[in-house]
Amino acid sequence: MTPAEITTFINEKGIKLIDFKFADLLGTWQHFTTTLNEYSEDIFTDGLGFDGSSIRGWRVIHASDMLVIPDPTTAWIDPFNAEPTLSFICTIQDPVTREPYDRDPRGVAEKAEAYLKSTGIADTAYFGPEAEFFIFDDVRYDYSSNGSYHSVDSVEGIWNTAREEFPNLGHKIRHKEGYFPVAPTDTLQDIRNEMCLELEKAGVPIERQHHEVASAGQAEIDIRYAPLKIMGDYMMYYKYILKNVAKKYNKVVTLMPKPLFGDNGSGMHTHSSLWKDGKPLFAGDKYAGLSEMALFYIGGLLKHAPAMTAIMNPTTNSYKRLVPGFEAPVNLAYSARNRSAAIRIPTYSQNPKAKRVEFRPPDPAATSYLAFAALLLAGLDGIQNRIDPGDPLDKNLYELPPEELAKVPTVPDSLLGALETLEGDHEFLLKGDVFTQDFIDNWIEMKKKEYDALRLRPHPYEFYMYFDL
Spatial neighbors of 48 by CB under 8 A, at least 6 apart, are 20, 34, 38, 67, 68
Sign of CA dihedral 414, 419, 425, 429: positive
**Three-state DSSP string of 119-172:** HCCCCEEEEEEEEEEEEECEEEEEEECCEEEEEEECCCEHHHCCCCCCCCCCCC
What is the β-pairing status of strands 343-345 and 334-336? parallel
The confidence score (pLDDT) of residue 60 equals 64
Cα(127)–Cα(273) distance, integer angstroms: 7
The confidence score (pLDDT) of residue 327 equals 64
Peptide bond into 184 cis (omega under 30): yes
| Contact by Cβ (8 Å): 337, 345 | yes
Measured from the Cβ of residue 456, the count of other Cβ atoms closer than 10 Å reads: 7
The string of pLDDT tens digits covering residues 29-44 is 999 999 999 999 999 9
- Three-class secondary structure of residue 173 per DSSP: strand
| Contact by Cβ (8 Å): 330, 342 | yes
End-to-end CA distance of the chain: 67
Of 199, 402, 384, 382, the residue nearest 305 (C-alpha): 382
What per-residue string of b and e applies to 74-91 under the rule 16 or more CB within 10 Å gives b?
bbbebeeeeeebbbbbbb
Identify the burial level of 405 via C-beta atoms within 10 angstroms of its C-beta, where 0-12 means exposed, 13-18 middle and 19 or more buried.
middle
* Amino acid residing at 446: M
- Extract the residue ranges of the chain whose pLDDT is less than 50: 62
Cα(284)–Cα(274) distance, integer angstroms: 13
Cα(320)–Cα(140) distance, integer angstroms: 20
Cα(363)–Cα(449) distance, integer angstroms: 20
What are φ and ψ of residue 250, in 5° steps? Answer: 60, 35
Cα(321)–Cα(427) distance, integer angstroms: 27
Count Cα neighbours of 339 within 13 Å in the Cβ-side half-sphere. Answer: 6
Count Cα neighbours of 338 within 13 Å in the Cβ-side half-sphere. Answer: 20
- Three-class secondary structure of residue 5 per DSSP: helix
The confidence score (pLDDT) of residue 27 equals 95
Cα maximum dimension of the chain: 73
The confidence score (pLDDT) of residue 63 equals 62
Cα(239)–Cα(28) distance, integer angstroms: 8
Residues with active-site annotation: 51, 130, 132, 212, 220, 269, 339, 358, 360
The confidence score (pLDDT) of residue 323 equals 87
